[in-house]
Amino acid sequence: MIYSRIAGTGSHLPEKVISNFDLEKMVDTSDEWIRSRTGIERRHVAADGETTVDLAEHAARRALDAAGVRPEDVDFIAFGTTTPDLVFPNCGTLLQRRLGCRGVPAFSVETACAGFMYALSIADKYVRCGEAQRALVVGSETLSRITDWSDRGTAVLFADGAGAVLLEPAAAPGVLSTHLHSDGVYKDLLYCGSGVSSGFADKLAISMAGSEVFKIAVTKLGQAVEETLAANGVDRTALDWLVPHQANIRIIEATARRLDLPMRRVIVTVQEHGNTSAASVPLALDVAVRDGRIKRGELLLLEAFGGGFTWGSALVRY
Ligand code: ACO
């Protein structure tokens, strides 16, 4: 039996930082409101001309470095993003060109904040069935490009960044299971209402019914973590770390409560990163691997929830 395992992680944040105090000068808000309602203190935003693939390339090279794999030896790229550089080629293929791994399958999945979870699930299957040996899984976003910086309801939440992992085959798991869901019935609660086929509005911006999204996110993520543990016959006390989607500290705390997990066992980067959508989980994972909190052999539960709605989770032995 072949499994996949995470051989290396990487991440990258653009240099420019916007603090809550900077936002106070842009919209009618306050540092106190943002921190108490979301947990966010600052966020990184891409420079003019800096793209989703630019951020992804840095994160990918760091993950490859950590795994000891040469860029040209990558044989599969799954790339989660909602903010692609171009209509086509897709971001996976644009990244493949930069890494020099010519001819291998490379594609993007556009499942909003769950993009990395979807990409991880697909890549895991390819490694397990023996069709990929060095699979790069990326989540990268420049959400600042679809944020209405005059709308206080969304401008305080979203940010830019990238994270990546390199999956390799292993005799023992690794990725124990992944679980993906979507429900398009909720489309109107969170969307960016422009597109090639439906036409572009004057302003490309995220629309969100925040408190409705909040309630459903808490419910669906609670169900997702329970589904993930049940599928593996694992008791919640066996978990070492929750690596959650970094949308809102209150959503993260609610999921941790559902698992009866103390917050010291939860990786929280939302204060520094804001909501980086598909980049959020691999960014948080890489931060905690590099600062030494997450160690080899530990059991991790990853989860994310986003527009669609789409959501997903994974149980991983790191
Ligand atoms: N500063 C100050 N006041 C604000 C701000 C702000 N930035 N934004 C809203 N308010 C006001 C509202 O106008 C409202 O005022 P009112 O009572 O006078 O009408 C009040 O604050 C409360 O607004 P709510 O929307 O009810 O606030 P809530 O506690 O729900 O927090 C938030 C809002 C932070 C958006 C929260 O609902 C949330 O995090 N939702 C989930 C977001 C999320 O998880 N998205 C998922 C994925 S995103 C993706 O897929 C791309």
3-state secondary structure the chain: CCEEEEEEEEEECCCEEEEHHHHHCCCCCCHHHHHHHHCCCEEEECCCCCCHHHHHHHHHHHHHHHHCCCHHHCCEEEEECCCCCCCCCCHHHHHHHHHCCCCCCEEEECCHHHHHHHHHHHHHHHHHCCCCCCEEEEEEEEHHHHCCCCCHHHHCCECEEEEEEEEEEECCCCEEEEEEEECHHHHHHEEECCECCCECCCCCCEEECHHHHHHHHHHHHHHHHHHHHHHHCCCHHHCCEEEECCCCHHHHHHHHHHHCCCHHHECCCHHHHCECHHHHHHHHHHHHHHCCCCCCCCEEEEEEEECCCEEEEEEEEC
Burial class (CB within 10 angstroms; exposed 0-12, middle 13-18, buried 19+) of 32: exposed
Among 144, 156, 214, the mutation site with the greatest number of ligand 1 atoms within 8 A of its Cβ is 214
pLDDT for res 201:
81
Between CA 116 and CA 120 the distance in angstroms is 6
Lookup result for tokens 């890494």: 99
Residue 138 Cα distances to 10, 72, 122, 258, angstroms: 9, 16, 12, 28
CA of 19 to the centre of ligand 1 (A): 18
pLDDT for res 128:
97
Tell me whether residue 245 is one of the annotated catalytic residues.
Answer: yes
Catalytic, out of 44, 245, 248, 273: 245
Q: Please enumerate in sequence order all residues whose Cβ is within 8 A of that of 301, keeping only pairs 6 or more positions apart, or say none.
A: 225, 228, 229, 239, 241, 242, 243, 259, 313, 314, 315, 316
pLDDT for res 254:
96
pTM exceeds 0.85 for this model: yes
Tell me whether residue 101 is one of the annotated catalytic residues.
Answer: no
Between CA 295 and CA 315 the distance in angstroms is 15
Tell me whether residue 275 is one of the annotated catalytic residues.
Answer: yes
Burial class (CB within 10 angstroms; exposed 0-12, middle 13-18, buried 19+) of 297: exposed
pLDDT for res 261:
96
CA of 211 to the centre of ligand 1 (A): 6
Between CA 223 and CA 159 the distance in angstroms is 27
pLDDT beneath 50: ranges in the chain: none
The ligand 1 atom at the shortest distance from the C-alpha of residue 156 is 7
Sign of CA dihedral 194, 310, 256, 244: negative
Q: Does ligand 1 have an atom closer than 6 angstroms to the CB of 306?
A: yes
CB 162 within 8 A of CB 59: yes
Q: Does ligand 1 have an atom closer than 6 angstroms to the CB of 181?
A: no
Among 26, 110, 211, the mutation site with the greatest number of ligand 1 atoms within 8 A of its Cβ is 211
Catalytic, out of 113, 179, 192, 273: 113
Lookup result for tokens 């903010």: 83
Q: Does ligand 1 have an atom closer than 6 angstroms to the CB of 38?
A: yes
